[in-house]
Structure 1
């Protein structure tokens, strides 16, 4: 009852502000203010406010909202675990073995700067004269990172 009275007063005040705005020849703004002012009284007349007040003070409604929140939290947690690679050990082991079988053992790509013979023996590229000293730091960094 109090909520309906307050919303009706807010609606009446908004309509008064819209009238003053229209008096100042700002008709577009006055129409917008009037539209917003009619929303609270419309909610009161449709019974939405009474339903919302009854829901807000109902312990069973809060229990229901809590259960819905808990269910949502459980679903989001399981999705996050799935995305991070969760699942059973058998599934992960089967995926790893399938990945290993997909690549032939001797079919790895040669690293940059090396040519591969048909027998799989790497052959080093010949170095240009005088270039060994300039790139020695870079070569050390690349060897450190396994490149």
Structure 2
């Protein structure tokens, strides 16, 4: 009874504020305030407030919420363990068998063919200062890049 009275008073106060806001030519804000203030009134009229109050003070309802929370906790724990362990035993055996079949027998040994890499020189060849590669001089671009630390 008290909750319904409080919700009705909040709705009337909100509609009063919406009327003042509309009087100040702020119609969009007034409409939004009216919508918000009609929600508690609608909840009172549908009986939702009475249901919430009865549920909030019912030990059976709180026990039910506890049971639902425990079920959710068990469900999430088992999912986390399943993900960490890689699934059930049957799933792991099937995955391992598929992994063994997918690998070619000779693929595990690296190929050390007869071609060897040529030895790299200690210092790469540097172009002469006077002659640039391709006829272009990039010294000014290099200076800008060095200036910016690139």
TM-score (normalised: structure 1): 0.72
Q: Which residue of 2 aligns with 1:74?
A: 74
Q: Please show how residues 6-85 of structure 1 align to structure 2 within 5 Å.
A: 6-84=6-84, 85=86
Q: What are the superposed Cα offsets for residues 121-147 of structure 1, whole Å, 9 maximum, x if unpaired?
A: 53351323525x89xxxxxxxxxxxxx
Runs of 4+ in structure 1 displaced over 4 angstroms? none
Q: Deviations over 1:71-114 (max 9, x none)?
A: 111111222222221423x653453244223322212474xxxx
* Greater RCO, CA 8 A, separation 6+: 2
Partners of 1:91 and 1:13 in 2: how far apart?
62
Higher strand share: 1
2:132 matched residue in structure 1? none
CA distance in 2, matches of 1:49, 1:129: 82
Q: 1:129 to 1:94 in 2, by over 3 A?
A: closer
Where does structure 1 lack aligned partners over 5 or more consecutive residues? Answer: 111-115, 135-147
Structure 1 distance, partners of 2:70, 2:44, is: 32
Moved more, 94-103 or 11-20: 94-103
Aligned residues: 123
How does 1:118-133 map onto structure 2 within 5 Å?
A: 122-123=113-114, 125-131=116-122
2-side partners of 1:94 and 1:48: how far apart? 52
What is the deviation of 1:47?
0.5
> Alpha carbons of 1:91 and 1:39: their partners in 2 closer, same or farther (altered >3 Å)?
closer
Q: Which has the higher helix share?
A: 2
